[in-house]
Amino acid sequence: MSTTLAVILIDRFADWEHGFLTAPIRDFFGGTVRFFTPDGAPVASEGGMRAVADGAFADLGPDAYNALAVIGSAVWMSDAAPDIGPIVRAADAAGRLTGFICGATAAAARAGLLDARAHTSNSRDTLKAVAAYRGEPHYRDVPHAVRDGHIVTAAGFAPRSFAFEMLQALLPGEARNLGYYKQELTAERFA
């Protein structure tokens, strides 16, 4: 089976959090990227970009993808957040690589996926605000993505390490090419 990444987007998704992951899967590694929204309708990013979906959450099953990425949005921290617990628990049970970045880590906490795994988020307090969060002893206060088995978490300011951790886990046979990509991801320096 060729590599397929399913990406969950909700309204006000963070524009900058998926590009370092989705573009290389399609352009460098010849994989497929499919986007899913709550009802299959377009959603708008924080910057106003309209994203057209390939399907609805109801279409998501772990047999249809190799990896799942849940992109951040401030909505994940609100009562308006969609319940993706059944989707991400099914991915976890199937051993699918699943990544949560920024506010999407709240969805992972609600689903119980962070209870016993090393993880990170925008801050410890971000997750402590989620009533269902039980993973505080496993929280890592680091500026980069954290991978524990097939679960990857990252703060919204770490889209590069999020992408790299996801790609490294998803494409272990591409170590050389991923080494080049890591050099590209880390080349930029601010003066």
Q: How confident is the model at residue 91 (pLDDT cuts 50, 70, 90)?
A: very high
Residue 114 lies in a domain: yes
Above 60 in pLDDT, residue 45? yes
- Tell me the pLDDT band of 127, cut-offs 50, 70 and 90: very high
Read off the amino acid at residue 121: S
| pLDDT band with cut points at 50, 70 and 90 for residue 130 | very high
Helix (H) or strand (E) holding 44: strand 43-44
| Number of domains, the chain | 1
Average pLDDT over residues 1-10: 91
| Torsion angle, alpha carbons of 135, 137, 143, 145, to 10 | -50
Asked if residue 126 belongs to a domain, the reply is yes
Instruction: Say whether pLDDT at 70 is over 80.
Output: yes
Asked if the model's pLDDT at residue 114 lies above 50, the reply is yes
Q: Does 113 fall in a domain? A: yes
Domain housing 95: 4-186
99-111 pLDDT tens trace: 999 999 999 999 9
Q: Is the residue at 27 inside a domain?
A: yes
**Res 1 pLDDT > 50:** no
191 in a structural domain: no
Domain membership flag for residue 60: yes
pLDDT at 188 over 90: no
Share above pLDDT 70 across residues of the chain, in percent, rounded to a whole number = 99
State the average pLDDT over residues 39-53. Answer: 97
Is residue 64 in some structural domain? Answer: yes
Q: What is the CATH number of the domain that holds 31?
A: 3.40.50.880
Can you give 84-108 as a three-state secondary structure string? CHHHHHHHHHCCCEEEEEHHHHHHH
Q: Residue 108: inside a domain, yes or no? A: yes
